[in-house]
Amino acid sequence: MIFELTNEQRKYLGLIPVESTWEIVKLNDMYLYFEGDTIRKKISVTENSYSEEELNEKTAENRTILLPKTSKGKPKKLNFTATQSFSSLGVYFSFSEDYLRIANYTTQTAYHSENFEEKGDLKTLHRWLTKWIEETAEKDLIEIEAFKNAERKRYKYKEGDFFAFKIDRRHYAFGRILIDVAKRVKTENLKANKNYGLTQLMGKALIVKLYHKISSTPDIDLAELSQTLALPSQAVMDNQFFYGEKEIIGYQPLEISEYDMLISYSKSISSDDKNTVYLQYGFIYREDDIAKFNKYLKIEDKNLHTGYNENPYRNESIGYGLDTEKLQDCIADQSNKPYWESRHLYDIRYDLRNPMNIDVKREIFEFFGLDADKTYEQNLNLAE
């Protein structure tokens, strides 16, 4: 193996140490640690990546057969295909050339993650480990041990909740839940009136915003926070809220002026409704026949292999984690200009909230009876 974490390093990452009685076996491009006939660890390593996961997989017949986890399962020959059914548990560590993560399969939460500005390799990992260990205090080790031994919990959340999360090892960022899309779809039957821009979001979607605020403590004044400038709102799956990685720190009822609503303009992607063009602006939904208005549904983009972008202003993508890439730049600039001018996400240039798209937005809004120069609250009145 070209590289392996030491037990001392594992302590600082929340990983279980390798016992002296364990045996290591190479299987294809991975390494498996056995305790008797039980697989306890899986390690994968290349010149620019390293991952280590904890396992509890039973084998038989001189470690050639992977035993089933339930009485209904069947034994499998222990080969690469069989390893794809491994059920990891507890803490895992993953390093790649541009990303690093310490997380827990059991709790479905992350302890630390970061992106690298430049492509890294195993030397990068060595430097990172040295710095990580040097900066680890006794209280950090206690925190890591608690993260390692934590059990899975499920948390409740609601619209108007404030939340905090670590943006790096020592600092917190803050946000607000604006819309619980899944709950709204269920309780208000949004699908009855189509509402494609909301109902087509994948998973249990939330619309949230992140404030221009970073602090060394999660304990802050919520009234003050609510008046702070925020990044453009984004759609995110609820996993990190449901499992508590994003900590709810308080609640205030939302004022209409606090909403920042996504805008989605597109041709219907439903085969049963292919002649429809629609605009979704928060809870405002408008549609018409595509024969009446079909502008901006396809534009040239030589950066794409097709040479064009179809439905470029359709804003219905969703992430598993929050986009914080430009948060610190926006705080420094006291505006969202660094975000809107960024190219870290392809769709930013086609977001109808982006100031560069104001002329397109005006034309689309005008067709659907809305006003691109008015607030969401004012457009709600127009839509009534």
Residue 183: CB atoms within 10 A of its CB come to 16
236 and 206 Cβ atoms separated by less than 8 Å: yes
Q: Helix or strand or coil: residue 327?
A: helix
Judged against a pLDDT cut of 90, whether residue 71 lies above it is answered with: no
Are 255 and 325 found together in one domain? yes
Residue 233 domain-assigned (yes or no): yes
Residue 305 domain-assigned (yes or no): no
pLDDT at 19: 98
Say how far apart CA 283 and CA 301 lie, in whole Å: 30
Domain boundary among 114, 149, 184: 149
The pLDDT of 163-179, averaged and rounded, is 97
Domain boundary among 96, 123, 149: 149
- The radius of gyration of the chain from alpha carbons, rounded to an integer in Å, stands at 25
Say how far apart CA 202 and CA 186 lie, in whole Å: 14
pLDDT per position as a tens digit, 118-151: 999 999 999 999 999 999 999 999 999 999 999 9
Range of the domain at 194: 161-263+315-383
Are 165 and 119 found together in one domain? no
Q: Which residues does 278 contact at the CB level (< 8 Å), separation at least 6?
A: 194, 196, 197, 264, 265, 266, 268, 285, 286, 287, 288
**What percent helix, strand, coil does the chain show, rounded to 5?**
25, 30, 45
Are 138 and 182 found together in one domain? no
Are 326 and 237 found together in one domain? yes
pLDDT at 271: 84
**pLDDT over 70 for what percent of the chain?**
100
pLDDT at 303: 82
pLDDT per position as a tens digit, 295-342: 999 998 888 888 889 999 999 999 999 999 999 999 999 999 999 999
Question: Which stretch of DSSP H or E encloses residue 184?
Answer: helix 181-188
Residue 278 domain-assigned (yes or no): no
Amino acid symbol at 5: L
Residue 55 domain-assigned (yes or no): yes
Query: How many residues are listed for the chain in this entry?
Result: 384
Are 100 and 191 found together in one domain? no
Residue 273 domain-assigned (yes or no): no
Residue 125 domain-assigned (yes or no): yes
pLDDT at 326: 96
264 and 251 Cβ atoms separated by less than 8 Å: no
Q: Nearest 5°: phi and psi at 355?
A: -55, -25
Say how far apart CA 166 and CA 84 lie, in whole Å: 31
pLDDT per position as a tens digit, 249-261: 999 999 999 999 9
Burial letters for 8-44: b for 16+ Cβ neighbours within 10 Å, e otherwise? ebbbbbbbbebeeebeeeeeeebbbbbeeeebbbbbe
Residue 246: CB atoms within 10 A of its CB come to 28
Are 64 and 204 found together in one domain? no
DSSP 381: H
Say how far apart CA 117 and CA 101 lie, in whole Å: 15
Residue whose C-alpha is closest to residue 330's, from 114, 167, 166, 111: 167
146 and 109 Cβ atoms separated by less than 8 Å: no
Domain boundary among 96, 119, 149: 149
Q: Helix or strand or coil: residue 330?
A: helix
Residue 40 domain-assigned (yes or no): yes
pLDDT at 117: 87
Q: Output the average pLDDT for the chain.
A: 95
Are 252 and 334 found together in one domain? yes
Minimum mean pLDDT among 166-170, 194-198, 301-305: which range?
A: 301-305
Residue 168 domain-assigned (yes or no): yes
Residue 249: CB atoms within 10 A of its CB come to 17
Are 49 and 110 found together in one domain? yes
Burial letters for 217-239: b for 16+ Cβ neighbours within 10 Å, e otherwise? ebebeeeebbeeebbbbbbbbbb
Judged against a pLDDT cut of 90, whether residue 281 lies above it is answered with: yes
Are 360 and 234 found together in one domain? yes
Say how far apart CA 377 and CA 151 lie, in whole Å: 43
Q: Which residues does 227 contact at the CB level (< 8 Å), separation at least 6?
A: none
Judged against a pLDDT cut of 90, whether residue 354 lies above it is answered with: yes
Residue 104: CB atoms within 10 A of its CB come to 23
Are 244 and 362 found together in one domain? yes
- DSSP states along 218-268: S---HHHHHTS-BPPPEEEESHHHHTTSSEEEEE-PPPGGG----EEEEE-
Residue 269: CB atoms within 10 A of its CB come to 14
In the chain, how many domains are there? 2
The pLDDT of 76-96, averaged and rounded, is 96
pLDDT at 191: 84
Are 119 and 215 found together in one domain? no
39 and 87 Cβ atoms separated by less than 8 Å: no
DSSP 347: G
pLDDT per position as a tens digit, 7-35: 999 999 999 999 999 999 999 999 999 99
Are 177 and 236 found together in one domain? yes
